[in-house]
Chain A
Amino acid sequence: MDRTVVQGNEGYAAMRVQHISKHIHHKPILVDIDFSVEPGSIIGIVGRNGSGKTTLLRSLAGILTPTRGSVYIDGLDIFKHPEIKKQIIFVPDSTEALKNYSTKELIYLYKNIYPEFDTSYLFSLMKRFKLSQISKIGNYSKGQKALFTLITAFATGASYILLDEPTDGLDVIVKKQVLQLLVEEVSDRRLAVLISSHRLDELEFMVNEVIFIKKGKVDSHYELDTMKNQYKKIQLAFAGKMPETLENELEVLDKTGKVYTVLIPRGSRPLEEKISDSRPLFYEELPMSLEDYFVAKLGGPDDV
């Protein structure tokens, strides 16, 4: 057995994503992705369309075989020891695969796949979210399907939940329910959740860590608080245009008339002095959001 990674904190299994690369049609889709996931954490996988987020999640679930590298759970390679995947469940952005099952059939299927599957827990959550048993899961509304798949994923007892765009297309109320359930589960049961989403505003309030993927590579990987402390978002207004020398050094998020919203590295005294020397009419620090960081790091016009 190739146990290359030690257990995570407090004896829980740890997921180790080790130098994964994936080429599709000879094009690099993922390049040397390397990180670890500890139980009890929610990690947001953030990136623009086509950056490789779904490919990454599918590789972590053992669906796609990486061209190089591998994924380890508790030191075991999931591609060599597929039985360890009992600890992983992948929740795709579509319920296509399960739409013809009745709730009863799905429970039967999952009970036989995941020995830890907790039926009473599933029923209690179904009751809480007013989901009745149904003869065809495809007949649930879009929101109900999303809730049901999430609930069944939690009921499997898996330690790693991989969610691909879980709130995509859901109305505000269901979205809130989904996110609330997610946060509760992670704190109650020391699960680890990897969640890919475009909705940075949603991720912001639940993730501990964010992995930014750009062109298949990990552009940056931060704990949310650390990340927010790295930058400072400020609003500036000048009598005329912002001096060109200054504009080149700042990350301009927005420009409306003479008012600029910019991002600067926190604690960069020379830059702050330069701003002060350029005598802005107005200077105010604004609360920093994940979206600001996303736009600054990944949102260049040539990166579409």
Chain B
Amino acid sequence: MMFNKALWFQNYKQSKFLIWILLALFVVQMPLQAILSVESWQERAERTTYSEEYVYEVQAWDVMQIFSQGMFTIFLAAAIVIFASLLIGLERNTRRSDFTFSLPYSRSSLFLAKWALGTAAISIFFIMNFLPAYLIIYQSEFREALSLVSSIEIFWAPLLGYIFFFSFSLLVGSITGEMVSQIVLTFIFGFLPIIIFTLIQEFMQVHDFFLFHIGSHPQWIEYATPFFYAAGSIGSLPGIISAVLFTAVCLWSGTVLYTKNNLEYNGEFLMFKKMNPVLVVILTVLISFFGGMIVSSLAPWGAAALRILSYWIGFTTFMLFALLIIRRLIKMNIIFSGRAV
């Protein structure tokens, strides 16, 4: 049922706009960027031929910018989130989900068909752009640069990272009731481990106590943060293994949750009402700590007591606003042209 023609067509029809944007982004990221990078490497190499002190060498970082890192991975991650939200969230905002759920297919088939379309689009577009980009560099005078990177770094990690991030976005879609909440929560949960780590670090710094060493974040935080998979930061074997495992977990749990969806809550922030208090607590705590961090940063570094005071002023102010706004969010209902019930 994952490859049901009708469901593929229906899902394609409601997300084709984003599918073609995804292709355009991959074209710009890989083949086009490869051509432009080779040109600029040539230019830099030519310049250094007139100077005896410098020799221009392409670095691994330069190659990874084309395949797995850089600005375009951020754009692609954003496009993937919107793609997933067109497949699930927008369907819930409109009357389309009534049509979809009235079809003679199981709910798991509906979810898996969405996953299959997205995964196929990402994989096909990635591979069909990876190959020419690789060949462009391979046929240039900078062929050696390719030996500076591994296939895990430039092929498996970004491909599996995008697929995991897409599966993660669909999982969030299986618990959210509409498009905006799906996008917002995908970004929040996509960064959650690194957000929590940063907020704790900041809290410790302001209050001058340290539960652990403060510096750059440990590797496991990266492995636990979904967004890093799409941004190409997981270029290692454990990284791709965890990408595969997390994809399987997202796919399984997304299917189960989608099957249990009560469609009468379409248009509301969350599909599962029991999750509302949990979400209110998580978001309020995060926003409050964030408020503390922002306001304390305005205080002078030397004035420790003032920093602590401003931290708690910021914490309390943001907490009050968070409670007001989130409670409204939880109660909202966005259905376009809806005349349900």
Contact = CB atoms under 8 A, between A and B. Distances in A.
Contacts of A50: 341
Nearest to B104: A85
A65 B262 contact: yes
Q: Which secondary structure dominates where chain A touches chain B?
A: mixed
Contact of A98 (B4, B99, B273): B99
A55 B341 contact: yes
Interface of A: 22, 24-25, 29, 50, 52, 54-55, 58, 61-65, 82-86, 88-90, 92-94, 96-98, 100-101, 105, 108-109, 112-114
B339 interface: yes
B119 to A, nearest CB: 21
Interface in B188-216: none
Contacts of B6: 109, 112-113
Interface centre among A64, A96, A98, A114 (most CB of B within 10 A): A96
Given A62-B101, A63-B263, A54 B340 contact: yes
23 contacts: A29-B341, A52-B341, A54-B340, A63-B98, A63-B102, A64-B262, A64-B263, A82-B105, A85-B103, A88-B102, A97-B94, A97-B96, A97-B98, A97-B99, A98-B99, A100-B14, A108-B9, A109-B9, A109-B10, A109-B13, A112-B4, A112-B5, A113-B6
Given A63-B98, A97-B96, A97-B99, A112 B106 contact: no
Given A24-B341, A109-B6, A109-B10, A63 B101 contact: yes
B98 A90 contact: yes
B171 to A, nearest CB: 20
A100 B104 contact: no
A155 B165 CA distance: 41
Nearest to A93: B339
Contacts of B94: 96-97
A82 B102 CA distance: 9
B106 A82 contact: yes
A65 to B, nearest CB: 6
Interface centre among A29, A62, A86 (most CB of B within 10 A): A62
Given A24-B264, A94-B337, A82 B104 contact: yes
B37 to A, nearest CB: 39
A32 to B, nearest CB: 18
Contacts of B101: 61-63
Nearest to A111: B6
A85 B100 CA distance: 12
A89 B102 contact: yes
Nearest to A95: B95
Q: Which secondary structure dominates where chain B touches chain A?
A: helix
How many chain B residues sit at the interface, stated as a range, is 20 to 34
A74 B280 CA distance: 45
Contact of A96 (B5, B96, B105, B263): B96
Contacts of A82: 104-107
Contacts of B262: 64-65
Contacts of A22: 264
B255 to A, nearest CB: 14
Nearest to A55: B341
A90 B102 contact: yes
B9 A112 contact: yes
A86 B264 CA distance: 23
For the complex of A and B, the 4 pairs showing the least CB-CB separation, nearest first, are A97-B99, A112-B6, A85-B104, A96-B95
Nearest to A165: B339
A54 B341 contact: yes
Contacts of A88: 102, 104
Given A61-B102, A97-B98, A101-B13, 11 more contacts: A24-B264, A54-B341, A55-B264, A58-B263, A65-B263, A82-B104, A85-B102, A93-B339, A94-B95, A97-B96, A112-B6
Contacts of B273: 25
Contacts of B97: 63
B95 A92 contact: yes
Contacts of B13: 100-101, 105, 109
A86 B263 contact: no
Contacts of B106: 82
B258 to A, nearest CB: 12
Interface in B318-341: 336-337, 339-341
Interface in B155-197: none
Nearest to A91: B102
A58 B339 contact: no
Nearest to A61: B102
Interface string B71-110: 0000000000000000000000011111111111111000
A238 B106 CA distance: 64
A236 to B, nearest CB: 40
